[in-house]
Chains A and B, each alone.
Chain A
Amino acid sequence: MACLAIPLSEARADEPLEVTFDGDNIHVAAPGLHFLTGKPLERLKNAATVAFVSQITLFSDEGKTIFRRPVAERLIVSYSLWEEKFSVTIRGADSTRTTPRLLTAQQAESWCIENLAISSLGLAPERPFWLRFELRAADQKDLGSLLSDTGISLGTLIEIVARRRGADLPSWRRDAGPLRLKDLPRMFSVRGRIG
């Protein structure tokens, strides 16, 4: 399948995005995208659960007019301390999917992205479109820590608000296009029709 994938233009990427079509949904693959690294990996190796939020957006022109509103999906990752492998659960609007077994970091990353898709409903095969794939570590603002016996601590509030978005939350973005459904490599469906 990888050899059928077409290289695409990109706005901000290290590796090109691979886009495929299963007849109902559009899928992406980003072999060069490694998000189980850095601080999220540190937290995972401390037995914590780390959540990522992903979304795929379709544009009818080059990133200006949204053709299909994105649906965010939550990727919940944890790391087995004893088996040293990863487990992922994807919580979407319509379903929850979990890895059937524990995976290596690379396998887990691939599984996550392969299981993300957006419906092609209403998109004519000939119509050009642009696609944006975004992934970011979910914010974990600790609102509970604001409260103390002496009331609400503004120091803590400032500390939380002052955390610049993205300063300690890694995020990734890949753009592709123009694309047409009829040009996309076909793949077998890994999930039912969306939407």
Chain B
Amino acid sequence: MRYVWLGCLLFGGLLFGGTQDSEFNVNTRYTVENVVVSGDGWTADVGAGGGNDERISSGLRKDIAALIGEKLNPTVLDEMAKRLRKEFHARTVEQRVLRGKSPDYVLVVFDVKLRPTRFDVSVPKFLYNGKQGWSGAVEGTATLRQNGFTLGLVSDGDELVERYAGIVARYDNTRLGTDRAHFRFAFESYHEQWNGSTTAQVQATQAGPVTGQEMPGPLNTGFTETSGIYRTRRNFEPEVTFVLAKPLTLSVGTSFQRFQDQFPAAQTESANALITTLRYHRRLEDSDNQQDLDAGYNLRAATRLLGTDFVYARHRWEFRYMLTHGKSVVIDDLTSGMITGRAPLFERFVLGNSSTLRGWNKYELDPIGGNRMVHNTVEYRYGVFQIFYDSGAIWDDGEAAVLRHSAGVGLRQGNFSLAVAFPIREGHIDPIFMVGMNY
């Protein structure tokens, strides 16, 4: 419980860490004459047409240009500096305000300082879920020009049916001859921990078809369509991403997964797959609204050509729409997936974690995951407050899909989120508390 309070305190500090002192700034009586953004060897004079500089995103350029002719607002300047810092991954963005050419006018200068050091440690995921416990990852990245070298530790009991804990190592090249091609090579090595209900269900299905009701989930299809329990898992994954057109990217790669079975001990199996991901992102803006559209398709096809023990094709479709109007944000996120063939447990779909069917326990829904999945989230945010409604179904081919629903409320600031979610069902309702970031 104390960790929950610690999370709340940290979250509260982030929410309310700002100050309102700037409302007393005497310079708010002056008008912004021009805004200049400068970086490492470049300068964009927004007032003189430099607002079309492609280095700055169109939305931010527009907001910076809108400062011109308005009264100076230090709070807004701070916000712009933060957005520039985020966009350029800069170490700092210094803002200077100078006298303008005319009396009572001022010139605003944002000076973007890139990171001189090329090493940073980050926490890409951090989560406490009332049912699944803690999950988290920590990574150190050294960057040399366009090359990034990452080494990290991870323990995740949220994403898959297994809890995987181990190391990740990654090499990224963000400019493979051209800005339109990126290369990534990832290595992962994990030790696995299994929930009792997953182990029991796998053992039950190993023993043959079961028709009893003492085990949750679909007991008559599991093991024949997936792997047994494994104790370790390793993955080598090279991948190249091409920017086909500005909003459209295509990634192509392979994944070589090797895992050591729990029973019989020391037997190693492999799942080697071709990976293809097509992504589309589009942002539409007008004077009042901002609309973000994301769509993606991912295929993992394990074929005998790659010497795999499991042959399958895993398809996943994603569609996300976000409408921002002032402090209000409406999001709809639709995901679906289908596996054909026999895929190992780590490839199977899971619902009932911290991002899907929040409030449900994934082990109650399906302890070994499913090979069919559809899920939709509708979320409304106003400032830091959020409410969401999840609905989805997970099942195996040949079974009837059962649609389930959940709802929740929470607070969100940036990547940090704190939420309580409830499964919508008859009988006893046990809410699940979640706090963390990037989940």
Chain A positions near chain B (C-beta within 8 angstroms): 46-49, 51, 74, 76, 78-82, 86-87, 89, 98, 102, 140-141, 143-155
Contact = CB atoms under 8 A, between A and B. Distances in A.
A147 B15 CA distance: 12
A155 B30 contact: no
Given A47-B74, A82-B99, A154-B121, A149 B30 contact: no
B98 A81 contact: yes
Interface in B394-419: 414-416
A49 B99 contact: no
B106 interface: yes
Nearest to B92: A145
Contact of A80 (B26, B96, B414): B26
A81 B97 contact: yes
B151 to A, nearest CB: 14
Interface of B: 13-14, 17-19, 21-22, 24-27, 30, 72, 74, 82, 85-86, 89, 95-99, 103-104, 106, 117, 119-126, 137-139, 414-416, 437-438
Contact of A51 (B14, B21, B437): B21
* Interface-centre pick from A47, A89, A102, A143 (highest chain B CB count, 10 A): A47
B101 to A, nearest CB: 12
A82 B104 contact: yes
Contacts of B86: 148-149
A150 B123 CA distance: 7
A78 B414 contact: no
Given A87-B24, A154-B138, A82 B30 contact: yes
Contacts of B437: 147, 151-152
Contacts of B125: 151
Contacts of B138: 154
B125 to A, nearest CB: 7
28 contacts: A47-B25, A47-B74, A47-B96, A47-B106, A49-B24, A49-B25, A51-B19, A76-B21, A81-B27, A82-B30, A87-B24, A89-B24, A98-B24, A140-B19, A143-B14, A144-B14, A147-B414, A147-B416, A148-B86, A149-B86, A151-B126, A151-B438, A152-B437, A154-B120, A154-B121, A154-B122, A155-B120, A155-B121
B74 A48 contact: yes
A145 B30 CA distance: 28
A76 B22 CA distance: 9
A130 to B, nearest CB: 32
* Interface-centre pick from A89, A102, A155 (highest chain B CB count, 10 A): A155
Given A87-B26, A98-B24, A151-B415, A46 B17 contact: no
Contacts of A151: 122-126, 137, 415, 437-438
Given A151-B438, A154-B120, 6 more contacts: A51-B21, A81-B106, A98-B24, A147-B416, A148-B86, A154-B138
For the complex of A and B, list the 9 residue pairs with the smallest distance between their C-beta atoms, beginning with the closest: A47-B97, A154-B121, A87-B26, A151-B124, A143-B17, A155-B120, A89-B24, A78-B25, A152-B123
A49 B22 CA distance: 6
B17 to A, nearest CB: 4
Contact of B120 (A80, A144, A153): A153
Contacts of A47: 25, 27, 72, 74, 96-97, 106
Contacts of A48: 25, 74, 97
Contacts of A87: 24, 26
Given A46-B97, A152-B437, A155-B120, A80 B21 contact: no
